[in-house]
Amino acid sequence: MDWQEKLKKRVVYQIPGMEQADVIKDVLYKTAGDDKLTLDVYYPADRQKDVPLPAVILIHGDAPWEMLKTIKDGGQFVSWGQLAAANGLIGITFTHRASERFQDLAGPKEDIVDLFTFVQEQAEAFSIDARRMVIVAFSAGGPTAFSAVLQQKPEWLRGIVSYYALMDIEGLREHVPDAPEEWYSRFRAATYLASEPNKIPPILIVKAMLDSPFFNESIDRFVKHAEEAAVPHQLLIHPNGQHAFDVRDDDETSRSIIQETLGFIKQRLQSE
């Protein structure tokens, strides 16, 4: 199966009527060189117009730009946007630049921060409750997404979800032997836990046991640091799950974890 076919795969958990979500597509939030970076906004089909709703920002992983420039239009992120809307929330999907095999992590991190700023500035126009948002970061989107939110600790952030996400780049040391220590620290999520941990909202961490050590060892390190910093967190484990189990493993465990994830998101966005 080529990457274009993989992008068509939808999330294995479905809710009746989720495909009825209203969508505003391809809103330009930033131009980076020749790249136009856009977002989509998913709304409940039965929403009351102009009534602000809390939002879920869905942050994709890393890949060559040829894949990333259309990733939000693939089955995985369309499904997650629709699932958010079917749960009475606003789902936001978007594109950010590629890291070029982790050589330029600063670029996508900047895009993510700029996306947050754009959503805050345009919240009223999009009927978003700018005080209540959760982020969900997938796969290799972890180092940029988590370093951004944990460094800033914005007041609007009500919860963080890590989906088989890379929590640090320690596994690159043997491949990038000349990289400065500051580079590893800057993109290590745990770096930002000790500073004002009381400002960090609860974190849901989802781990797929059949994932590569590159990902799972980073998750284990982060969980250890979160425990030491007394940061509220919950770990969900799919014992037979592969990387991207939400589209690859059509089983009851996958569906149960996705359902529990949506419950966590709703609970966090309903809290004051």
Task: Name the residue among 219, 24, 201, 232 with its Cα closest to residue 128.
Answer: 24
Show pLDDT as tens, one digit a residue, over the chain (272 residues): 667 788 889 999 999 999 999 999 999 999 998 999 999 999 999 998 889 999 999 999 999 999 999 999 999 999 999 999 999 999 999 999 999 888 899 999 999 999 999 999 999 999 999 999 999 999 999 999 999 999 999 999 999 999 999 999 999 988 777 888 999 999 999 999 999 999 999 999 999 999 999 999 999 999 999 999 999 999 999 999 999 999 999 999 999 999 999 999 999 998 76
CB under 8 Å to 104, separation ≥6 — which residues? Answer: 97, 98
CB under 8 Å to 147, separation ≥6 — which residues? Answer: 109, 186, 187, 188, 189, 191, 192
Q: Class of the 3-270 domain?
A: alpha beta
DSSP string, 127-188: TEEEEEEEEEEEGGGHHHHHHHHHHH--TTEEEEEEES-----GGGTTTSTT--HHHHHHT-
pTM for the structure as a whole: 0.97
Three-class DSSP category at 67: helix
CB under 8 Å to 253, separation ≥6 — which residues? Answer: 238, 239, 240, 241
Give the sheet arrangement for strand 90-94, strand by strand. Answer: 22-32, 35-43, 90-94, 53-59, 128-138, 157-163, 203-208, 233-238
